[in-house]
Chains A and B, each alone.
Chain A
Amino acid sequence: RKEVEQDPGPFNVPEGATVAFNCTYSNSASQSFFWYRQDCRKEPKLLMSVYSSGNEDGRFTAQLNRASQYISLLIRDSKLSDSATYLCVVNVNNDMRFGAGTRLTVKP
């Protein structure tokens, strides 16, 4: 079983839609959690950290459920520019472990 698992997608949604991605992790000792965004043939960039209480940054909301060992990312009012691959990242004993990513395409 992979340490960090994500649905690879692709998720194809119309502009304005709300879309949610889930990520599960296997190590219960994981300490911190992040979402990174990666555009096609580009480097990953930090989108947001994920806090236990949940956190929001504009149209993006991240949630953490430690009991069930999953992290979610919700994107509201999708824009064309949101099209990218979203990487779930988990800190396991001071080692950042990346999921394979979920690809999102937002269509007009």
Chain B
Amino acid sequence: NAGVTQTPKFQVLKTGQSMTLQCAQDMNHNSMYWYRQDPGMGLRLIYYSASEGTTDKGEVPNGYNVSRLNKREFSLRLESAAPSQTSVYFCASSEVTAGSGNTIYFGEGSWLTVV
């Protein structure tokens, strides 16, 4: 039972480098999300995708792009990494848009450090 799988788990980037965080879910969920978690800040939504082919900005989208490749996969790209993007990134999915109250299932997280 894989659930939500995200890679890589750890990554160190230099300022200005680019990278893509990959995420896949095997629960046939329509909605997928990318959050970042910083100390004292809680989880903040970067982007979400309510269904295949759609993406929308969340609370903190600046510096990120996303692609909903198909129903299973939702990737997050940092085009030019900055130290302020040092964080733990969580991909998540749910059966319907989160607001309806359905459970959000999270991946194990990706620890990203930008130096």
A residues near B (Cβ < 8 Å) are 2, 4, 8, 31-32, 34, 41-46, 49, 87, 91, 93-101
How many residues on the B side are at the interface (Cβ–Cβ under 8 A)? 21
Contact A96 to B42, CB < 8 A, known contacts A43-B90, A45-B106: no
Q: Are B99 and A87 in contact (CB under 8 A)?
A: no
Number of A-B contacts (CB under 8 A): 53
Q: Are B90 and A94 in contact (CB under 8 A)?
A: no
Sample of 18 further A-B pairs with CB below 8 A, known A44-B43, A94-B98 = A32-B99, A32-B101, A41-B109, A42-B109, A43-B108, A45-B106, A46-B103, A46-B104, A87-B43, A93-B99, A94-B97, A94-B99, A94-B100, A96-B104, A98-B35, A98-B42, A98-B43, A99-B42
Q: Are A95 and B45 in contact (CB under 8 A)?
A: yes
B residues near A (Cβ < 8 Å) are 35, 40-45, 58-59, 90, 97-101, 103-104, 106-109
CA distance A13 to B55 in the complex (A): 44
CA distance A87 to B104 in the complex (A): 13
Q: Are A96 and B40 in contact (CB under 8 A)?
A: no
- Residues of A near B98 (CB, < 8 A) are 91, 94-96
Instruction: Give the residue of B99, B100, B101, B107 whose beta carbon is less than 8 angstroms from that of A43.
Output: B107
Q: Are B42 and A44 in contact (CB under 8 A)?
A: no
**What residue in chain B is nearest A34 (Cβ atoms)?**
B101
**What residue in chain B is nearest A32 (Cβ atoms)?**
B101
Sampled A-B contacts (20; CB under 8 Å)? A2-B42, A8-B40, A31-B99, A32-B101, A42-B109, A43-B90, A43-B106, A43-B107, A44-B43, A45-B106, A91-B99, A94-B97, A95-B98, A95-B99, A96-B104, A97-B42, A98-B35, A99-B42, A100-B41, A101-B42
CA distance A52 to B98 in the complex (A): 19
